Structure 1
Amino acid sequence: MLHCREEVLFLTKQLVNIESIVNTSGEKEIAQALYTLLSSYPYFKENPTHIKMTKTIDDDQERYNVLAFVKGTKASQQQEPTIILMGHMDTVGIDDFNHLADKAIHPDELLAEIKKENLHDECIKEHAHSGEWMFGRGVLDMKSGLASHLYLLKYYSENPDQLLGNLVIVAECDEEDGSHGILSALKDLIAWKEEHGFNYIGAINADFVSPRYEGDENRYIYKGTVGKLLPSFFITGAETHVGSCFEGLDPNFLAAELTRQINYNPALCNEAFGEITVPPVSLKQTDLKPSYTVQTALSAYVYYNFFIHSWTPKEVLEKLKAEAHIAFENSLKLYRDRYKTYCEISGEPFKELTWVPRVYTYEEMNKQLIEAHGLSYVEHMTNFKEQLLLDQSLDTRMFAARVVEEAWKWMEDKRPAMILFYSSLYSPRIELSGKNDAELNLITALDDAVSEIQPSYQHPIVVRNFFPYISDMSFVALSDDPAGIEAVTSNNPGWGSKHYVNYQDIREINVPVINIGPYGFDAHKKYERMELTYSLDVVPNLTNLVIQKLLSQQ
């Protein structure tokens, strides 16, 4: 067993003390600090080409990744077996700390202040006074996990004779937002693969793990990860003056029914290997009126978080198109019933509705418009997107909405409709089922390592199939076939302009990945904290055993 607790704790505090909030200059600062630290190690002084700090690609922020590798002296194969350790350096913001914001990145000072608070949550109170928990922004998500990886890199840089292959570390930025870090780092990993003959046989992420329910004492290890999509709807109605409300159709009315149909719907939970995703939930719902008028809105915009285990992005579109059609039908029925009742009590004549449910994917609408208008439409939309890119206030989601809104103007049939599309990054699902030797070897190494560690740790260490949170694990392998990826690229209005992912780079790496990370509570919250024993002792030793066992199989 490695006696690593104090050194991993020291590294964790060093990392936490650097405020590295995503999309701020702190990401650049922590990368520089980490690069300087690693460069001071004797191994990297002797092998300076084994470490690099590289700027992210196609990014409007200046930020960097830090990559390094140690070559084991026992590695002699032409295609040298290589394991990737990965972890992100960035954190979410600290606004939630309120008056303790200046203590958020100083764990010892923060803990002293927390102890003075009148804590009503017994769990937080117990942890604060136990001496076994560290509080602070990033301690759990995920600087203690990254510290574990850094410890192992340093250990093997001092003991390369104990390494039967090679060890690469990727400390990436921008995990908490657009994953520019890992997507850029793929280029470096591919370059090292070609230059040094690395054969990537497994990747180990160190993102945080938490209880799945109240009273859950398990410490989880995950094989593969959940996929994440952002299905979005541009919804058009029939504009009218509010004094004649039944002469039009409010798109907000349609949007509300659509959200009622989709939000928390168990039918949209995806089961695989006995594990199930949480249902979708809305992340935005708004109309697109620029200012107040006494007319109903022309259009509305909604989008939903959607997790997947086995469904492809194409299947999600098919399912949501069906749900949208149901919502549209329900909306029109309810509208008709209320309109009829109003006519009965007001004495006004009732007119039968002429609207019908209309739901299209963006790809379907775009194809229809190209067939109808040809080159004039294509050139107009190309120019429109170029001009839209000049508006730095638009994120990928609002950019996509504006593109659909502009395309809709070309539709000859302006009756109410719902247009379904993707408006943000697709974090691909990764399924680690043992379908090939590489997956089987990693699963076996993990199972053997857990069996070896478990007797020395009091809480159950449980292996599950899908990491339940969004993470950069999604970008080192692909379980989707080309048709699944094409459904993303063809249905994202910002694709190729505001948004682009080189999925071929992911296929080039395509390494099975697991997550062994620190344990704790309240990531992204004021009382973010990690358990010291598991995070500082068990995680590094468990990760090390997986490294040793996986390399010994080659």
Structure 2
Amino acid sequence: MLNTREDVLSLTKRLVQMDSIVNTPGERAIARSLYELISTFDYFTKNPDQVMLEQTVNDDQERYNVLCFVRGTKKKSNRTVILFGHMDTVGVDDFNQLKELAFSPDELMEAFGDQELPSPAQEHLASGEWLFGRGALDMKSGLASHIYLLHYYSMHPDQLEGNLVFVSECDEEDGSNGILSSLKTLKRWKEEQEFEYVAAINADFVSPLYEGDENRYIYKGTVGKLLPSFFITGHESHVGAAFEGLDPNFLAAELTRQIHYNPKLSNEALGEMTIPPVSLKQTDLKPSYTVQTALSAYVYYNFFIHSWSPKDVLEKLNDHATIAFENALELYEQRYQLFCEISGHPYRELPWKTRVMTFEEMEHELIKSHGDEFTDHMNNFHKELVNDSDLDTRMYAARIVEEAWKWMDDKSPAMILFYSSLYSPRIELSGKTEEERVLLSALDEAVEKIQPHYKHPIVTKNFFPYISDMSFLAMSDDLAGIEAVQNNNPSWGKKHFVDYQDIRDLNVPVINIGPYGMDAHAKLERLEIKYSLEIVPNLTNEVILNVLNRSKE
């Protein structure tokens, strides 16, 4: 095994000390610092054209990726492994009075020593075998592991039968502009340098899956993530005559009851199950207080997938929204009838019917009804709205649907289903191609070789369970699945765009071998030193060698 502990620990602390919170100037600073560091490696002083600081494209902020490559000299080969990982972090407001120490691991741990921490963080701190600090786990220790291997092979290219590409990307914690921008360069290098990308290895963090879980996980492929959203309209009324209207908040509440935590919307594949959808926003769209019920409401849900396509998800959610709408009307009628009985008010038959449609269906109906007048109006509305810096892609999409709804001839209550954010594609690594089989075999051999050096089980699973940039190195969806995203995202091509063809063109089998720890994105974020700084780089190294030192099977 390579003796990695002290070097990777030093690199990790160095990276953590760089404040690189997403969407701040720190992202620029760490990219420049990392570029300068790598540029000092002897290999890159002799080959300066093989390392680059590259600004992201189609980004509303100035930030950069760092990309470089080392050519192996052991044997001429085009086989190439990509090592990648993000250098941005989430914020530090949760550190409260220790905010100034969040990026200083040694000082932070000293300060924690004066506090009573919850178990097991207290035991971890006392052991001396854990490192605390913002970004230490997610994922600067993983990035440090990659940098160590990059440096090692830059000094020993004669041990490399093939090539190593390194990508340190920005903006993973928000919009993935970093990895998406890097795809163009990776494609260009594929042609110019004749690289044959055979595997990609991410180093994002892993954690226990349940209390008492002692496994350290390696993931083959990754979960996909969607943000299905609903614009919901009702029939307004004065609150003093509540049963003269249908409150969209009532419909939204029933929709969330139907979808939220519903295991029927968990997606099973390869023996593994996704977490059910959960609501990330639920609100009406009234700008201020009035005694009139809301005209519309807006909800969106986190939705993980393993094997379903975005098209499948739309179809399933259309069915569940129909059930929710029907249940809401049934409950409304029951309560209305009861109120009429106890109040003496006359009962009238409800005029509303269940009505659910996708944005694509609504837009098609509006174009058919209003033609160029509608499309010209919406194009102008897009141009005005896109300049509103206060709107993120999710609220931008909602405003587009709200504006389009005004053109509907039939304005009876409805639920409009659409996507309002980035789709992070799912990746199944099942051995369906020769390169997948080579990578899976290489991983199994690496685990078998390194496991005796570590006391806890190292276990492989099929889907990385968190959102990550792994999603943008390969594509499991067919064209119809991607078209469902494009045609049902109201901000597509205006506020939001992803060239999914770039991903399809690369289509590299991808795995995650990352540091182990707990409380990522929280004040007590920490990593276990032995696994993260010794086992991870050695596992990664074995996979690199196993993949490069063999032909397709």
Scaled by the length of structure 1, what TM-score is found? 0.99
Q: How does 1:68-79 map to 2 (within 5 A)?
A: 68-77=68-77
Partner of 1:125: 122
Q: Which amino acid aligns with 1:298?
A: L
The percentage of aligned residue pairs carrying the same residue is 69
Give the deviation of 1:508 after TM superposition.
Answer: 1.2
1:106 partnered with 2:104: yes
Query: Which whole-Å CA distance do the structure 2 matches of 1:553 and 1:76 have between them?
Result: 13
**Counterpart Cα distance in 2 of 1:74 and 1:83:** 15
Matched residue SS, 2:209: coil
**Whole-Å separation in 2 of the counterparts to 1:299 and 1:142:** 40
The SS at the match of 1:116 is coil
Match of 1:59 in 2: 59
Aligned to 2:504: 507
Separation in 2 of the partners of 1:118 and 1:487? 51
Equivalent residues in 2 for 1:398-417, closer than 5 Å: 398-417=395-414
Aligned match of 2:518: 521
Cα distance in 2 between the residues matched to 1:181 and 1:398: 22
* SS at structure 1 position matched to 2:24: coil
Does structure 2 conserve the Cα–Cα contact (< 8 Å) formed by 1:75 and 1:81? no
TM-superposed deviation, 1:74? 2.6
Q: Deviations over 1:77-128 (max 9, x none)?
A: 4xx0000000000000000000000010000000011111022x22011001
Structure 2: runs of 5+ lacking an equivalent = none
Alignment match of 2:89 (pick from 88, 91, 105): 91
1:483 & 1:163 partners in 2: Cα distance?
40
Matched, 1:190 2:195: no
Answer yes or no: is 1:340 the counterpart of 2:325. no
Residue 76 of structure 1: how far off its partner (Å): 1.8
* Match runs of 1:248-397 below 5 Å: 248-397=245-394
CA distance in 1 between partners of 2:496 and 2:317 (Å): 22
Equivalent of residue 159 in structure 1, options 156, 161, 165: 156
**Uncovered stretches (5+) of structure 1, i.e. residues with no partner:** none
Cα distance in 2 between the residues matched to 1:343 and 1:546 = 71
Distance 1:86 1:504 in 2: 20
Matched, 1:42 2:42: yes
Q: Partners of 1:383 and 1:435 in 2: how far apart? A: 46
Name the structure 1 match of 2:546: 549
Is the CA contact (8 Å cut-off) linking 1:519 and 1:530 kept in structure 2? yes
Question: By how many angstroms is 1:359 displaced?
Answer: 0.1
1:458 matched to 2:458? The reply is: no
| Partner AA of 1:6 in structure 2 | E
- Provide TM-score, normalisation by structure 2: 0.99
1:501-533 deviations in whole A, cap 9, x for unaligned?
001110111100000000000000000000000
* Aligned residue number for residue 240 of structure 2: 243
Task: Give the equivalent residue in structure 2 for 1:20.
Answer: 20
How far apart, CA to CA, are the structure 2 residues paired with 1:461 and 1:74? Answer: 30
TM-align CA RMSD: 0.6
CA displacement, residues 202-235 of structure 1 (integer Å, 9 cap, x when unaligned): 0000000000000000000000000000000000
CA positional deviation for 1:455: 1.1
Alpha carbons 1:75, 1:166 under 8 Å: kept: no
Q: How many residues align?
A: 551
Cα deviation code 1:469-512 (max 9, x no counterpart): 00000000000000000000000000000000001110111100
Alpha-carbon distance, 1:196 to partner: 0.5
Shift of the alpha carbon at 1:194? 1.1
Matches within 5 A, 1:136-151: 136-151=133-148
1 CA distance for matches of 2:452 and 2:144? 24
Aligned to 2:478: 481
The 3-state SS of whatever aligns with 1:193 is: helix
- Tell me, in whole angstroms, the C-alpha distance in 1 between the residues paired with 2:456 and 2:344: 71
Distance in structure 2 (CA, Å) of the matches to 1:137 and 1:291? 38
8 Å contact 1:285–1:301 — kept in the other structure? yes
Residue identity matched to 1:89: M
CA distance in 2, matches of 1:67, 1:207: 18
Q: By how many angstroms is 1:75 displaced?
A: 4.1
SS of match in other structure, 2:450: helix
Amino acid at match of 2:92: I
1:553 Cα deviation after fit? 1.2
- Give, as a single letter, the amino acid of the residue that structure 1 aligns with 2:532: S
1:171 match: secondary structure: strand
Q: Distance in 1 between matches of 2:221 and 2:116?
A: 40
Instruction: Name segments (4+ residues, structure 1) moved above 6 Å.
Output: none
What SS does structure 1 have at the residue aligned with 2:120? helix
Query: What amino acid maps onto 2:338 in structure 1?
Result: T
Structure-2 separation of matches of 1:528 and 1:91: 12
CA deviations over 1:377-414 (Å, ceiling 9, x no partner): 11111110110001000000000000000000010000
Q: What residue is the counterpart of 1:82 in the other structure?
A: 80
Give the whole-Å Cα distance in 1 for the aligned partners of 2:68 and 2:497: 26
